[in-house]
Structure 1
Amino acid sequence: MNAAPAKVYAAWTDPEKLAAWFGMPAKMQEGSLRAETDPRIGGRYRISFTGIDGEHFQVGGIYRDIVPDELLVMSWAWHSTPERESLLTISLKPDGAGTLLTLHHEQFFDQAARDGHEKGWTELLGQLEQFFAH
């Protein structure tokens, strides 16, 4: 990422910044994305939006481990399938003037869930790069 680790960390933990880059605009109603964060071990986060078809989506979880500007480990579950909780780890390392971001998402319910999230994360990380380009 073309930003210092502190800025990348803030993009994941500051609700306004998270709402500015997260989401898939072609699949959601404009202005519907909301983010809430409580970035501390045991704190919760929630991201919600309304799809273009009017369906409401919400994903969230609990922060399991946090090292400011370096690490976020959190549970991840969609409100429609809370029993399918997975684990998301985001590691940040300084890399010249930027940040090497490593995203590891594991413990998926099945292969289809893994494949869907891989596609989604690829798109979202591209949007995060664009967020720092502005």
Structure 2
Amino acid sequence: MENRISPLELRLQRRFDAPVERVWRAWTDPQALMRWFGPAGTQRVLLAETDVSVGGAYQVGFVTADGGEHYASGRYQEVERHRRLVFTWAWRDTPQEVSLITLEFTVDGTGTALAFLQAPFVDEATRDGHEDGWSGAMDRLAGHLAGAD
């Protein structure tokens, strides 16, 4: 009997009071990413570069409250403008731990529903740390979208 461990995944659902075009731009435009990216307590976004095309690369970097600098990068796997964005994710410090992030954007009245999926994770602690980070990032994104572009 084969012992199978299901991949650890993180799923988040958020609704933003902004049209899908603005939410998409927040995830894909470097200038927009510079305004919100990072977990709660992010002091400053240091870097945001995107080539939003299949096979295109991106990288982001930010400073957290403890002064630590964190960088992540990857490549876009699927790009369906205003609908779906799929990209690999790896931290500079742990490049061997690659996961896949899938974002699905859906018009929800005058706002946007965003479905977020990231998998796999090496263990539950890593997944839980990402859940905390991404939840804070979604709050920062909501604040950015509530302001003027």
One fold, TM greater than 0.5?
yes
CA-based RMSD of the aligned residues comes to 1.5
Decide which of 1, 14, 27 is 1:12's aligned counterpart. 27
Higher helix share: 1
How many Å separate the matches in 2 of 1:127 and 1:55? 18
The runs of 5 or more residues in structure 1 that have no matched partner are none
Higher strand share: 2
Name which one, 1 or 2, has greater alpha-carbon Rg.
2
Secondary structure in 2 matching 1:33: strand
Give the drift of 1:54: 4.8
The runs of 5 or more residues in structure 2 that have no matched partner are 1-15
Q: Identity over the aligned pairs, expressed in percent?
A: 39
How many Å separate the matches in 1 of 2:63 and 2:109? 38
How many Å separate the matches in 2 of 1:26 and 1:51? 6
Decide which of 83, 94, 116 is 1:103's aligned counterpart. 116
How many Å separate the matches in 1 of 2:73 and 2:54? 14
Give the drift of 1:77: 0.2
Which structure ranks higher in relative contact order (CA pairs < 8 Å, sequence separation ≥ 6)?
2
Give the drift of 1:52: 5.1
- Runs of 4+ displaced beyond 6 Å: none
Instruction: Give the length in aligned residue pairs.
Output: 132
User: Under a length normalisation based on structure 1, what TM-score does the superposition of the two structures give?
Assistant: 0.91
Match of 1:69 in 2: 82
Give the drift of 1:132: 1.1
